[in-house]
């Protein structure tokens, strides 16, 4: 006989680095105790690209059933661990401290109502190592309190912002190329400082452009188009040409920490050879 299930609650994770906010770099695993409850009481967990849904058999009164579980097992909540499959997740996520390791903790009792959704607030727990991006606790009493009807889904939400960094373009120029006045331009309001002549760690000469105090969000899909242009002036007439159309946008893999008035900040480094 096939059992029919209803949704007890769901979790949706929105991350503004990813296209359409859908973060598919996280995996969700019940804790050992919660997995035992799933196996013993026939709960169902359906994983989705940006979270999961948790189901109970329809024939059961969820309030009475959760109370029964609490009385017979001493368990009062469901616990889940979220791990990332992207080694750059901590770099691209603004919430994680730059110089500190740890895990975020979310609990259903600490939420803000946003329409029909419940936005969970985070607590950061420092540690010497972090195997999970965050841990989630959903209390039985919160499910009963928030779930008004069998066909109503209790929707918990977690929201992450993408990290903003200073963007630095290091333009390495071939010895055979001559440029008069290089600049980086775009249709946005972002203005790059420079160029400044520098020597890279490998001894190469480069012209450096920086977004300065302007921090730019990291995005999975490029949000801006920056062009490298050169302006030449002859006999009082200026002529601008595009050297590179569409410079690469910053990615989370190449970053360095710098100090700004005693505060640690992140810069995204890009090396362009022309």
Do 19 and 124 fall within a single domain? yes
Domain count, the chain: 2
Range of the domain at 189: 164-273
Do 266 and 154 fall within a single domain? no
- Output the pLDDT for position 163: 97
Q: Of 160, 177, 204, which residue is a domain's last?
A: 160
Q: Are 215 and 164 in contact (CB under 8 A)?
A: yes
Reported as a single tens digit per residue, the pLDDT across 1-33 is 567 899 999 999 999 999 999 999 999 999 999
Do 50 and 149 fall within a single domain? yes
- Using the predicted structure, report yes or no on whether residue 171 has a pLDDT greater than 70: yes
- Indicate the range of 83-92, 93-102, 230-239 predicted with least confidence: 230-239
- pLDDT band, residue 174 (cuts 50/70/90): confident
Reported as a single tens digit per residue, the pLDDT across 213-244 is 999 999 999 999 999 999 998 877 889 999 99
Reported as a single tens digit per residue, the pLDDT across 203-216 is 999 999 999 999 99
- pLDDT band, residue 149 (cuts 50/70/90): confident
Pairing of β 51-57 and β 102-114: unpaired
Do 154 and 174 fall within a single domain? no
Do 172 and 268 fall within a single domain? yes
Q: Of 160, 190, 210, which residue is a domain's last?
A: 160
Contacts of 16 (CB under 8 A, 6+ apart): 159, 160, 161, 162, 217
- Output the pLDDT for position 1: 52
- Using the predicted structure, report yes or no on whether residue 122 has a pLDDT greater than 80: yes
What is the separation, in whole angstroms, between the first and last Cα of the chain?
Answer: 68
- Using the predicted structure, report yes or no on whether residue 59 has a pLDDT greater than 80: no
């Amino acid at each position: 006989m096939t059992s029919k299930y209803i949704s007890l609650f769901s979790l949706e994770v929105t991350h503004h680095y990813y296209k359409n906010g859908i973060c598919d770099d996280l995996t969700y695993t019940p804790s050992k105790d919660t997995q035992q409850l799933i196996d013993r009481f026939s709960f169902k967990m359906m994983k989705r690209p940006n979270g999961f849904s948790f189901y109970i058999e329809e024939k059961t009164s969820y309030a009475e059933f959760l109370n029964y579980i609490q009385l017979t097992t001493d368990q009062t909540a469901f616990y889940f661990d979220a791990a990332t499959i992207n080694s750059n997740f901590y770099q691209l996520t603004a919430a994680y401290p730059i110089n500190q390791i740890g895990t975020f903790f979310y609990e259903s009792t600490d939420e803000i109502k946003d329409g029909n959704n419940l936005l969970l607030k985070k607590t950061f727990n420092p540690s010497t190592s972090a195997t999970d991006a965050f841990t989630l606790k959903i209390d039985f009493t919160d499910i009963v309190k928030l779930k008004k009807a069998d066909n109503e889904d209790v929707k918990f939400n977690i929201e992450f912002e993408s990290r903003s960094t200073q963007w630095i373009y290091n333009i390495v120029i071939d010895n055979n190329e001559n440029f008069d006045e290089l600049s980086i331009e775009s249709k946005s309001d972002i203005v790059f400082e420079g160029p400044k002549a520098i020597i890279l760690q490998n001894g190469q000469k480069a012209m450096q452009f920086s977004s300065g105090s302007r921090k730019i969000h990291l995005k999975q899909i490029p949000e801006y188009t920056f062009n490298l242009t050169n302006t030449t002036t002859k006999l009082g007439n200026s002529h601008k040409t595009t050297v590179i159309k569409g410079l690469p946008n910053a990615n989370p893999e190449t970053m360095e920490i710098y100090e700004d008035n005693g505060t640690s900040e992140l810069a995204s480094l890009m090396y362009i050879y022309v």
